[in-house]
Copies of this chain bind each other. A is one copy, B any other.
Amino acid sequence: MKVELRKQRFTPWQEIERRQTLMQKDGQFGAVVSFIGNMRDSNEGDNVSAMALEHYPGMTEQHLEKICKQAEEKWDLMEVLVIHRVGDIEIGEAIVLVAVWSAHRAAAFEACRFIMEDLKSRAPFWKQETLEEGKRWVEKNTPGQS
C-alpha cells in the first residue's frame, strides 16, 4: 500500500505503471481498477480558471491510510496506490489517483469505489476555485451514487 500527497503535477498512467513494475507480481494479479479525478474548467455552471487544494497535514495522510487499510481488510487485494495533489492545480491536471490490484475484478472494482467514496466524503481536503469574480470555497462534493 502506498499513499502520497503530491505538490507537483503527475502523470497518473506513469505512476500506475511504475507501481506495477515495483510490485513484481506479474502473473498474480488478474485485475487492475483505477480512478483518476481531473480538474474541470467549470463547476456548477461557472467557469473555473484555477484551483487550490488545502489539506490538514498529518490527519489527511493518516485518514487515507486508514481507508486503504479498511479496503485491504474487506477485500483480497494485492496492492493499493493513492496519490492526491495539494496546492495549486491547473485545468486538466490529475487531482487524485486510486489504483487497486487484485486477483479478480469484483474485489478491484469494489475496493476502488469504496476508497474513492470515503476519500470524497471524509478525507480532509478543501478546494478553493478561482472564478472570474474571485475565489470561492467549494461547499460540497457531489454524491457518488447515481
Binding site for B on A (CB under 8 A): 11-14, 16-17, 26-42, 75, 91-92, 103-110, 112-113, 116, 120, 142-146
Question: Quick check: B13 and A27 within 8 Å, CB to CB?
Answer: no
When distances are taken between beta carbons in the complex, the residues of chain B under 8 Å from A26 are 38, 91-92
CA distance A105 to B42 in the complex (A): 15
Question: Quick check: A27 and B14 within 8 Å, CB to CB?
Answer: no
Question: Quick check: B27 and A31 within 8 Å, CB to CB?
Answer: no
The 7 A-B pairs of least Cβ separation, nearest first, read A26-B92, A13-B13, A27-B41, A106-B146, A27-B91, A32-B36, A30-B40
When distances are taken between beta carbons in the complex, the residues of chain B under 8 Å from A116 are 105, 109
Question: Quick check: B92 and A37 within 8 Å, CB to CB?
Answer: no
Question: Quick check: B30 and A37 within 8 Å, CB to CB?
Answer: yes
Copies of this chain present: 2
When distances are taken between beta carbons in the complex, the residues of chain B under 8 Å from A30 are 37-40
Please, which residue of chain B has its CB at the minimum distance from the CB of A113?
B109
CA distance A109 to B26 in the complex (A): 25
How far apart are A17's CB and chain B's nearest CB, in angstroms? 5
How far apart are A115's CB and chain B's nearest CB, in angstroms? 11
Contact among B17, B37, B143, B145 for A13, CB-based, below 8 A: B17
When distances are taken between beta carbons in the complex, the residues of chain B under 8 Å from A32 are 12, 34-36, 38
Contact among B27, B33, B42, B144 for A106, CB-based, below 8 A: B144
Can you show 22 pairs from A to B with CB atoms below 8 A apart?
Answer: A11-B17, A12-B32, A13-B13, A13-B14, A13-B17, A27-B39, A27-B42, A28-B41, A29-B38, A30-B37, A30-B39, A31-B36, A32-B35, A32-B36, A35-B105, A104-B142, A105-B120, A105-B144, A106-B144, A106-B145, A109-B109, A109-B144
